[in-house]
Structure 1
Amino acid sequence: MGIVASFLHFWQHFVTHSGTPIVFWTRPNWSVDQIPDQSGKVVLITGGNSGVGYASALALYNAGANVTIACRSFARGQEAAEDIKKNGDRGIWGVRYNQRTPAEETKLGSIDVLALDLTDLASVEQAADKYKLRVKRLDQLYLNAGIMAVQEGQWTKQNYTLQFGSMVLGHQRLTTHLLPILLSPREEPARVISLSSVGHNFAPPGGIDYTSVSRHPDDVANPDGSPKKGKNELDRWPEYGQAKWGNIAIAKYLADRYDPKELIAVAVHPGSIATNLGNHIGIVGWAASKAHWALAPMTFSPYQGALNQLWSGTLPATQALELNGKYVVPFRHVMDPRADLLGEEGKERARKLWAWCDEQGKKFE
């Protein structure tokens, strides 16, 4: 690829696609103050204890929704819930508490915590069953939890690659278990918002290499116990890519499978966000922990990163219908994902993924 072609590729997929503060036309054009009243709405957010998930939970709680944040550590979830109650502004710098006005206090919803480990299919089913005892309907499900480019050789409880196993298989099983309360009768269709990324472009041809996501019998850790890349496992970035490709495919499958009068599904890209997601990645991690200022020109805050999913999740139903099955990039723009997710072939690939996930779930019921 020549210099010009490389630049155009970078511009399209990382600047235009992700947005950046230094490019004025990719800055936020909508705010949480424009969220419609969410009083009575029932919301579940995976990974709602940190980053974009926390920002989403805070905004929806302030708008009157009954929010449950689902995360692996119940204790960290409780800490996040307490910060949300105190209007805590969380970031890579720490927490700052902002006083609400009396009028804002009257609009608050409720906040709850659900223990959920997406790396364990048994935990996913248990969490879904517990949640269905709490609520009779679910209005908004945010498949938000994620990890990024973690070291190879790490596996879920049922021996799937950590990234794909948690972000795709874990979320698909959770959604499947929650379908009865997503499809229960209501005035407006439920929403499923699936958090993806520009990183879906790193996926292998066709989206997913199914032989790579399951642990081979010969795969063992290094002698010192440290992770060792699996025999069929992809490198960390293609593995991340196929997980994020899968997140888009989940939204596309749901949009194709269910009546939009019952359920609307949207995939979103939050943009380039300054969170702890990349703390383990070389210079990015160093900048996040030691030089916040270095990230400012190139990254948005978690609160800005939450805007796409908040807009997609709270937009009036008549307008949200136009987003069904679509991929939304910063900020509030519909963009085509990679070509292998489009058209009838894209739908067939999404159906194949959903069926594969169902098959894996049946193995451990």
Structure 2
Amino acid sequence: MGVSLSAVWTQIFPPKDRAPITEKNLGSQKGKVFIVTGGSSGIGYELTKLLYAAGAKVYILSRTPANVDAAIQRIEEAYADVDKSDLGSLHFVPLDLEDLESVRDAARSFKEKETRLDVLFCNAGLAAVPGNKRTKQGIEMHLGVNTVAHVLLERSLLPILTATAKVAPKDSVRVVWSASIVVDCMAPTGGVPPSFLETPGTNIGVKYSISKTAAWFSASQLAREHGRESGVVNIAGNPGTYFTNVWRFTPTIISYVFRFFMRDTVFGAYTYLWMGFSNEVTMEAAEEGRYGICDGRWHPGQREDLVLANLAVEDGGTGEAKRYMEWVDEKIGPFLDV
């Protein structure tokens, strides 16, 4: 597998009560604007709830209006007894990650409403989609939803992220990418085989692991490409293992077994808080391709083949991540509206 047992173990059974950033020390986020894709359920819901309680303006980008409305109502009711002046606000922008046209339209809609964006949390995703389903633009479903659509969203929102970085503290404007323990355990050699991009095969576990490895690669490549110029930090990490909607296509017997390792989704939100707010997360770390793990720590040592794949040939790597991003840019190019 190429990764130590201890590195896997600490992600399945992270130290208890060790999250560096929680609602207790997050601090006020008044005046700041955030996007959480898939913020109406699971980890995204818990993150949205924490940001709202801290006074942030949070945009939930999701596909189903009824689900978002219900989530907003639950969050507001949870803080019904709190002084409204201490709370933030919650807003909805339609987003279907299976359709790059919808991603483009969501970015346009947000930019019509705001001139600031402090952190984009690329949280939404899916796993174990049966069959050989593809997105509207013909991209393998896991890869298209979990990664390619979010690359388009990041690139479309880069101007507003960059503008915010010019007036915000150094390295505080970020794009946070959701990866997974399957990057360590199931990703094929090199992470994203070129053959997979057009001929994905049938193994749903491999499809998911490739999509999550691609999320890490995307974060690192984007950081190296425009981080210094834009001031925007792109960082990826494994928020942990939780029973969320991402499991909705998983066979019952498999999800039942994994339930024994799953924790409360709020701990996943704590990992996002660390990636989104910790001073340990810097532009230098992003450019190096560093990778966070639950509940807010750096990975103790990733697979060598993936580390090399994430590096350019001129830097001693294999250049596979760079080639992957070139392929992504070809796919999203017609929908890029900046």
TM-score normalised to structure 1 length: 0.79
Over 3 Å counting, the alpha-carbon distance change for 1:198 and 1:207 in structure 2 is: same
After superposition, the C-alpha distances for 1:32-57 in whole angstroms (9 at most, x for unaligned) are: 21112111111001111110011111
Instruction: Specify the alignment match of 2:315 in structure 1.
Output: none
Measure the CA separation in 2 of the matches of 1:251 and 1:117.
21
**What do residues 159-200 of structure 1 show as CA deviations (whole Å, max 9, x unaligned)?**
111101111111111111111111113222411100100111
RMSD after superposition: 2.6
Return 188-197 or 328-337, whichever deviates more. Answer: 328-337
Unaligned runs of 5+ in 2: 313-318
The alignment's TM-score, normalised by the length of structure 2, stands at 0.85
- Determine the structure 2 residue equivalent to 1:241: 209
Q: Distance in 2 between matches of 1:349 and 1:33?
A: 41
- Greater Cα offset, 330-339 or 275-284: 275-284
Read off the aligned partner of 1:194 and give its amino acid letter. W
What is the distance in 1 between the residues matched to 2:269 and 2:303? 22
| Letter matched to residue 196 of structure 1 | A
Counterpart in the other structure of 1:266? 235
Report if the CA contact (8 A) 2:47-2:266 is conserved: yes
> What aligned pairs does 1:5-20 form with structure 2 within 5 A after superposition?
11-19=5-13
Aligned residue for 1:112, secondary structure, equals strand
In 2, distance between residues paired with 1:208 and 1:81? Answer: 37
User: CA offsets, 1:283-333, max 9 Å, x none?
Assistant: 244579xxxxxx3x52211111111111221225x7645643421112222
Question: Residue 139 of structure 1 contacts residue 182 of structure 1 at CA under 8 Å; is this kept in 2?
Answer: yes
Q: CA deviation at 1:263?
A: 1.1
What is the distance in 2 between the residues matched to 1:261 and 1:179?
A: 8
Q: What amino acid does structure 1 have at the position aligned with 2:174?
A: R
Work out the percentage of aligned pairs sharing the same amino acid. Answer: 29
State the partner residue of 1:326: 290
What's the counterpart of residue 316 of structure 2? none
1:144 aligns with 2:123: yes
Query: What is the letter of the counterpart of residue 268 of structure 1?
Result: G
Alignment correspondent of 1:91: none
Larger radius of gyration: 1
Report how many aligned residue pairs link the two structures. 319
**Structure 1 residues 173 and 345 mapped into 2: Cα distance closer, same or farther (>3 Å)?**
closer
Q: Is the 8 A contact 1:81 1:113 kept in 2?
A: no
Q: How far is the alpha carbon of 1:205 from its aligned partner?
A: 1.5
Match of 1:281 in 2: 251
Structure 2: how far apart are the matches of 1:345 and 1:269? 17
State the distance in 1 between where 2:200 and 2:215 align. 22
Amino acid at match of 2:196: S
Q: Deviation string for 1:81-131 (max 9, x for gaps)?
A: 2222222xxxxxxxxxx65444xx432111101100111011111111111
Q: Which residue of 2 aligns with 1:362?
A: 333
